[in-house]
Homo-oligomer: A and B are copies of this chain.
């Protein structure tokens, strides 16, 4: 492999996570040590900063600051939700060439993988040597190929912990409680709520994910059945739950809902879905007195500080470092993926997968994790998710109750 020597650029794109800066710092550390990368330019707000040559010299950042930044949630370089078109890519490309950039690193989800793919193709067409690497990040855990995505474990730890606390809250003051969890198409994060179960009567008692079909009447019947059994009911529902016709509950509710530049409807940052489900429950009890509450966990899931999964943080750092290693030592563009070598003890390896394999399409919860009832997650999912989440907070009942 002929050595490619020059500068590098890095951007962080899409929704933040609690460990996305671990990956950034991983790249900085490895790039600093490499002989191939002379200078590492951090693009503010990702592709937007690349278009404007809005760069930070990341080799100038003191190690002490970087260690703290790594532990800080949300994209330290700023993020963007922008899908560059052909023209943008050509403009970016001019900037890269002008700055003697030979390495392009992009941290993000599948949309970011697609951007990386487009930049890679543009460089190839121009016959310009540019090594492009996508570094996986998404709390949705919906990237193809990889066993799981950095960022997911910490968000799952937040969600599982939130349900541990809410289960205790609900046991103390019984009622019907609905919690809306992030997840447009993939139910991984919502499914992580089952980690809160320890005793038979622990919630969540019902779990609705986008991989199953949602039905208003079935939902009401489910809640009434659980409530009749336990005198209370905790529900985990993904923001992207949908009806048999494919329309999301949120879409049917909200006429003319906002769409982002990737064509996605706004699902987060509103309590409307939870409030709608609460209304359904009240309707089901037809005027009988029933305590129903709905919380939407919202952005806390992706940026709550000081509560990350240690495993997730370590792996996020590793995929950053390994991206530099794969880019400088190999001769192909790609995305860093994780392979679970063994589960007990938990052990992973990283490898390179072609950009096209992770761009555009995403994957959801495998069918084996969906309970046939359509309102629950199979307990085998625990084995998948627990190593990513790590040790959960203490929660103990009195022996007498």
Contact = CB atoms under 8 A, between A and B. Distances in A.
Nearest to A196: B305
Contact of A275 (B15, B72, B165, B272): B272
A398 B69 contact: yes
Contacts of A161: 304-306
Given A74-B172, A173-B79, A294 B275 contact: no
A16 interface: yes
Contacts of A162: 300, 304
Chain A interface bracket (under 10, 10 to 19, 20 to 34, 35 or more): 35 or more
Interface in A163-184: 164-166, 168-169, 171-173, 177
Given A56-B400, A162-B300, A399-B65, A305 B394 contact: yes
Given A56-B401, A270-B275, A396 B171 contact: no
A388 to B, nearest CB: 17
Interface string A371-401: 0000000000000000000001111111111
Interface in A63-100: 65, 68-69, 71-81
A284 interface: no
B299 A58 contact: no
A230 interface: no
A358 to B, nearest CB: 22
Contacts of A74: 165, 168-169, 171-172
Contacts of A61: 398-400
A78 B399 contact: no
A169 B271 contact: no
A296 interface: yes
A42 B395 contact: no
Contacts of A393: 71, 305-307
Contact of A294 (B68, B73, B271, B303): B271
A18 B172 CA distance: 13
Contact of A166 (B57, B77, B274, B299): B299
Contacts of A401: 42, 44, 56, 76-78
A60 interface: yes
25 contacts: A16-B169, A60-B399, A65-B396, A68-B394, A71-B393, A72-B395, A72-B396, A73-B169, A74-B171, A78-B173, A161-B305, A165-B300, A165-B305, A166-B299, A166-B303, A168-B303, A177-B299, A269-B294, A270-B275, A270-B294, A272-B275, A295-B296, A296-B298, A306-B307, A306-B392
Interface of A: 12, 15-16, 18, 42, 44-45, 56-58, 60-62, 65, 68-69, 71-81, 161-162, 164-166, 168-169, 171-173, 177, 268-272, 274-275, 278, 292-300, 302-307, 392-401
Given A60-B399, A74-B172, A306-B392, 18 more contacts: A12-B172, A15-B173, A45-B172, A56-B400, A78-B172, A161-B305, A164-B305, A165-B300, A165-B305, A168-B305, A269-B294, A270-B293, A271-B271, A272-B275, A293-B298, A295-B300, A300-B300, A306-B393
